[in-house]
Structure 1
Amino acid sequence: MEVTRRTLIGGAIGAGALALSACSGDDLTTDRGTITSRHWPGRKVNWRFAIQREGDYDSRPTVVVLHGKGGNADAAFDLGLQDHLNDNRLSLASIDGGNLYWHRRRGGDDPGAVVVDDLLPMLPRRNGNAGKIALLGWSMGGYGALLLASQLGPERVAAVVAESAALWTSPGSSAPGAFDDREDFEAHDVFAPKRLAVLSRIPVRLDCGRDDPFAAANRAFGRALPSAHLTIDAGAHTTGYWREHASAQLAWVRRQYGS
């Protein structure tokens, strides 16, 4: 494995960019680094990127991965998502989101805005592809993928994979810390008609295990968004479930790009 170090070319992202490194294996190149952002003051936010080492990069759209609660930018790689990139001609980007459920919180921290305003502008320099992204997330990140897609719309999002998505049908049923209060829940409720109207124009895949505590809410979301491809199958809220579904999910994402 060849390892090189370089500095970010093209100016700072957000408030500034820190050092990054690139690692090239036989068929995959991965980059990682940190950024600072006005959307998350006082924090160095880690990001990671992976793409096939050689090939037509313009045909390799980026899957932006949002981790679950307790995770970070490494989580997508810990699940082995990078192992399925070459077969599906995709690239991958991930970033830290803390435990903030990918939306602006009362204190002003907003990891969702970090994705939109800081991470996404970096992607064309990483793979030369300025086209639509796909979003994939599990648990907290599954909710986040639906939320960000409902904000960005079909003009910027080609596909969404939400697995074991942390969904609640009412403010009182949500997990402690997921939202600041009832108003915060309602402002970021993916069951809201306006958000569903946007998501109905984007291919959405929902995967959830039968023994997952979010299975009932995922079924409810499937009913609320009948255009979504919903699968409730054997499994629970585990890394094993997410790892086992990665190959099929990324193949499905590739099909949404029409080739």
Structure 2
Amino acid sequence: MPEAPPPRLGRRRVLRAGGAVVGLGAAGAVGWELAPPSFTERLLGKLGIEPEAFVPDAPEGEVRLERVTSAAMGELDLFTAVPAGHGDGAGLPVVVVLHGASATAADLRGFGFGRFVTAAVEAGAPPFVLAGTDDGPAGWVASGDVDPPRMLRDELPGWLAERGFDGGRRALWGWSRGGYGALRFVTQTPDWARALALFSPALGPDDQVLSDLDVLTDLPWGLWCGEWDPFREGSVALAAAAPVAPDPWVSGEGGHTRAYWNSHTLEMLDGLARSL
């Protein structure tokens, strides 16, 4: 059974929580940069502020977690979320999400992603489906006999089409290790995605991927990374090395945390949906 979604929270509590996070961050930037995300989230908890406080107060539509068999990876989970009011999502384009190292596809509902999809559409984004799978032992790069890029390229579009979605219209979003995997994937498969969104991609300023970013000349892309994120230098280097600057390039107070990513997810999904 998938993890139960977090409780729905009203706008007033979301705004109070957001203000508290900004105040906390201004006082403790250095500590946040050096601390692992788990420490940051425990600190938020002591203040009564959970990352779920940034999940929008919107209903889920049809949310599924299914087991699929991949020739490239073996057994894995496939998560899909259709916005409320759009039935089973037939004919809708897809935003594919690549999760970070500490997550799996089974966690995506618990992160509130079904609600984010509905909230983005209710706010004016063209309707779309969100879909995500598990990664491999080395993340979203090939390792031994496990090949996540091959799965994304050759198998995921067919799984999406089998469920009635428009598997030919795809955008790609990744956070942390998933952000790095998404960047690597589009450099290797440049025609796969119509747009790209990267949240705090886990790369350093000297990573080899920065030497071959020609795909970003014609691919709409955006970049989000907080000022206290441990991968901040890599994001700055990525923005500087790209042939076309990210639009948007969002910084601001925040670390490598779900609270920061959640606070920017609606704006990101709106941009990706419009690209489809």
Q: TM-score band, normalised by the shorter chain?
A: 0.7 to 0.9
Partner of 1:74: 106
Partner of 1:160: 196
- Counterpart of 2:166, as a letter, is N
- Identity, in percent, stands at 30
Q: Deviations over 1:211-230 (max 9, x none)?
A: 00101110010011133222
Q: Stretches of 4+ moved more than 6 A in 1?
A: none
Q: Deviations over 1:108-146 (max 9, x none)?
A: 211222222222211122233133211111100011111
Q: Deviations over 1:143-196 (max 9, x none)?
A: 11112222222x33111111011012336xxxxxxxxxxxxxxxxx42132xx1
Q: How do 1:48-87 residues align onto structure 2 when only pairs under 5 Å count?
A: 48-52=79-83, 54-55=85-86, 57=89, 60-86=92-118, 87=121
Change (3 A) 1:227 1:127: farther
* Aligned pair partner of 1:110 in 136, 144, 147: 147
Q: 3-state SS of the aligned residue for 2:139?
A: coil
Stretches of structure 1 that go unaligned for 5 or more consecutive residues are 1-25, 172-188
Aligned positions, number: 209
Partner of 1:135: 172
Give the Cα–Cα distance (whole angstroms) in 2 for the partners of residues 244 and 220 of structure 1: 23
More strand by share: 1
Give the Cα–Cα distance (whole angstroms) in 1 for the partners of residues 90 and 77 of structure 2: 25
Instruction: Decide whether the 8 Å contact of 1:135 with 1:145 is kept in 2.
Output: yes
- Counterpart of 2:237, as a letter, is A
Stretches of structure 2 that go unaligned for 5 or more consecutive residues are 1-58
Confirm whether residue 207 of structure 1 aligns to residue 207 of structure 2: no
Instruction: Decide whether the 8 Å contact of 2:91 with 2:165 is kept in 1.
Output: no
Give the Cα–Cα distance (whole angstroms) in 2 for the partners of residues 104 and 141 of structure 1: 13
Give the Cα–Cα distance (whole angstroms) in 1 for the partners of residues 218 and 92 of structure 2: 22
Tell me how large the CA RMSD over aligned residues is. 2.1
* Aligned pair partner of 2:258 in 234, 239, 242: 239
Partner of 1:93: 131
Partner of 1:30: 63
Q: How far does residue 98 in structure 1 lie from its aligned partner after superposition?
A: 3.6
Greater RCO (Cα-Cα under 8 Å, separation 6 or more): 2
Give TM-score, length-normalised by structure 1.
Answer: 0.73
Change (3 A) 1:77 1:200: farther
Give the Cα–Cα distance (whole angstroms) in 1 for the partners of residues 135 and 252 of structure 2: 28
Q: How do 1:163-178 residues align onto structure 2 when only pairs under 5 Å count?
A: 163-170=199-206
Partner of 2:160: 123
Give the Cα–Cα distance (whole angstroms) in 2 for the partners of residues 197 and 99 of structure 1: 28
Instruction: Decide whether the 8 Å contact of 2:157 with 2:168 is kept in 1.
Output: no
Partner of 2:246: 228
Give TM-score, length-normalised by structure 2.
Answer: 0.69
More helix by share: 2
